[in-house]
Amino acid sequence: MDANDTIAAISTAPGMGAIAVLRLSGPRAYPVIERLAPALPLEPLARHAYFVPVIDADGRIDEAVITFFPGPNSYTGEDVVEVSIHGSMYIQQRVLEAMLDGGARVALPGEFTQRAFLNRKLDLSQAEAVADLIASQSAAQHRLAIQQLRGGFGAHIDDLRQQLIDFAALIELELDFGEEDVQFAQRVELLALLDRLVDLSTELIDSFRYGNAIKQGIPVAILGAPNSGKSTLLNALLNEERAIVSDIPGTTRDTVEETMTVGGVLFRFIDTAGLRRTTDTVELLGIERSYKKASEASLVVLLADASRMSEGALRTEAGLLQERIGDGPKVLPVLNKCDVDGVPVTQGTIAISAKQGVGIEVLKEAFLVHVRAMQTGTGDIVVTNARHVDALTKARKALTEAKQAIDAGVSGELLATDLRRAQHHLGEITGRIAPDDLLGSIFGRFCIGK
């Protein structure tokens, strides 16, 4: 990859549509488009749209709206041209081929955004937020991606890293005067800074449970005895027939997963095999998989048939299930079939009729209450990226070891090593420290044209 190349790509999704957008970025972006659109002025106005014909060696291709964004005031920091044409796949490909004939090359996946990073238009955490924004499927995912794209997270990390660098510089200066036994870095102030950084790192790491759940979708496992109405509940939540409903016990022998948005939050609902005593080998495998899915979920709906199980018995079952799957997921006991004659609607328990659609909205609100509880304790900045958590965890370890070094009165040389390690890991988050293989891994997941 040569940063001096001019790159071109179709930026809209593959397929036919009303319009399509192609982009050029690089030092020859405007000369390339001038060849396709000779009606363009020799000295175009910045960010001014021109409606002109585009041609190639075979004649007119289409009429296009062409906008020139001169660097460094562009997305990539280079000269950028955006070309809007009619959405015919034939037209798109012909215009792209004309750009390549004019001296551009096809962009690699994520290369436009990678150039924006290399030209300091975005830090690495913001660049990753671009991919999250493109992939967002819910209001909550969109909100978190926008927050990170604004750069507050990266700026905060860079500020903390700079404070460490300032103290480390003083420690390094002490090493130059080692024989004179002087201290330029006040250990009390350094300890206070390290305490703040450790606390912040812990807060950010803890926020990942909420951030990752929002990014991937909140997993909700639906468990219960056979014929308690699990598949009916899934269909009621989705408002369509997705799961097979049958009176025959053990119909669901594998998990069924579907997604939907509730209150702007993406949920992943998992219908599982019914929990009961059985000697059927296949059904036993399904039941074990049900428990596994429950342990991996954020929320577990334990569903019971109100005509067969009392509220007290359900709460006992919920407690036993919570012990089995651990403290991570929350178990929510729900009584189903409360429309059956003679079955009381209890107080303090969510009572529904999945078949009649009664209580479904109350249940959805309980899901949102769970999400809001997950967010409690997290600040404005929420970590959604596993790479950031890994870097923060390593930085926290180095910071903790630096604190221990100060308490133990070790030499400034060892203390400086711990501080440099913490700086390095914080720098990995924003790309201040960014090896080529890391950049290749991150930007290789982007679509071509972004």
CATH of the domain at 109: 3.30.1360.120
For the segment 320-334, the average pLDDT, to the nearest whole number, is 87
Residue 309 lies in a domain: yes
In the chain, how many domains are there?
3
Sheet holding 49-56, edge to edge: 49-56, 59-69, 80-87, 17-25, 7-10, 105-106
Identify the pLDDT of residue 243: 46
DSSP 8-state code for residue 353: B
The DSSP call for residue 57 is T
Question: Is there a domain that residue 449 lies in?
Answer: no
pLDDT at 250 over 50: no
Q: Which residues contact 404 (CB under 8 A, 6 or more apart)?
A: none
Residue 423 predicted with pLDDT over 60:
yes
Statement to judge: residues 206 and 104 lie in one domain: no
Task: Mark whether 286 and 371 lie in a shared domain.
Answer: yes
Question: Quick check: 53 pLDDT over 70?
Answer: yes
Question: pLDDT class for 48, splitting at 50, 70, 90?
Answer: very high
The CATH number assigned to the domain holding 389 equals 1.20.120.430
What per-residue confidence (pLDDT) applies to 56?
92
Q: Does residue 348 sit in the same domain as residue 250? A: yes
The tens digit of pLDDT for each residue in 82-116 reads 999 999 999 999 999 999 999 999 999 989 999 99
Predicted local distance difference test score (pLDDT) of residue 284: 56
Residue 187: both structure tokens together = 């250990």
**CATH for 256:** 3.40.50.300
Q: Are residues 110 and 19 in the same domain?
A: yes
Among the three residues 122, 140, 162, which one is the final residue of a domain in this structure? 122
Alpha-carbon separation of residue 70 from 28, 220, 319 (angstroms) = 11, 49, 63
Counting every residue written for the chain, the total comes to 450
Looking at the domain assignment, is residue 450 inside a domain? no
Query: Does some domain include residue 34?
Result: yes
Burial code (b: 16+ CB inside 10 Å, e: under 16) for 142-173 equals eebbebbbebebbebbbebbeebeebbebbbe
Q: Which range of residues forms the domain containing residue 265?
A: 217-375
What pLDDT is attached to residue 276?
Answer: 56
Query: Where is mean pLDDT largest: 159-173, 335-349, 353-367, 368-382?
Result: 353-367
Higher confidence at residue 189 or residue 248?
Answer: 189
Q: Would the pLDDT of 427 be above 70?
A: yes
Residue 424 domain-assigned (yes or no): yes
Asked whether 289 and 271 are in contact (CB, 8 A), the reply is: no
Q: Output the pTM of the full model.
A: 0.76
Are residues 231 and 360 part of one domain?
A: yes
Domain end residue (candidates: 64, 98, 122): 122
**Residue 245: predicted pLDDT:** 44
Average pLDDT over every residue of 48-69: 95
Judged against a pLDDT cut of 60, whether residue 374 lies above it is answered with yes
**Which has the higher per-residue pLDDT, 285 or 430?**
430
Flag whether pLDDT at 136 surpasses 50: yes
> Is 443 contained in some domain?
no
Residue 249 has pLDDT above 50, yes or no: no
Q: What local confidence, expressed as pLDDT, does residue 247 receive?
A: 44
User: Which tokens sit at 155?
Assistant: 């700026």
> Do residues 66 and 82 make contact, with C-beta atoms less than 8 angstroms apart?
yes
Q: Is residue 448 part of a domain?
A: no
**Residue 321 lies inside a defined structural domain of this protein:** yes
CA–CA separation, 258 vs 178, rounded Å?
Answer: 65
CA atoms within 13 A on the CB side of 430: 21
Residue 265 has pLDDT above 60, yes or no: yes
The answer to whether the beta carbons of residues 250 and 279 sit under 8 Å apart is no
Q: What is the pLDDT of residue 306?
A: 86
The residue with greater pLDDT, 290 or 76, is 76
Phi, psi of 78 (to 5 degrees): -110, 175
Same domain? 41 vs 115: yes
If asked whether residues 42 and 108 sit together in one domain, one would say yes
Give the model confidence (pLDDT) of 221-238 as tens digits.
Answer: 998 888 888 889 999 998
- The residue among 349, 375, 401 that closes a domain is 375
Q: Are residues 402 and 422 in the same domain?
A: yes
Q: What percent of the chain has pLDDT over 70?
A: 84
Closest CA to 242 of 222, 226, 225: 222
Statement to judge: residues 96 and 140 lie in one domain? no
Tens of pLDDT, residue by residue over 157-205, are 888 888 888 777 777 666 655 555 545 456 777 788 888 889 888 988 9
| Judgement on whether residues 300 and 188 belong to the same structural domain of the protein | no
pLDDT of res. 189: 78
**Rounded mean pLDDT, 131-142:** 87
The verdict on 108 and 195 lying in the same domain is no
Same domain, yes or no, for 31 and 88?
yes
> How many CA atoms lie less than 13 Å away from 298 in the CB half-sphere?
26
- What distance in Å separates the CA atoms of residue 398 and residue 419, rounded to the nearest whole number? 7
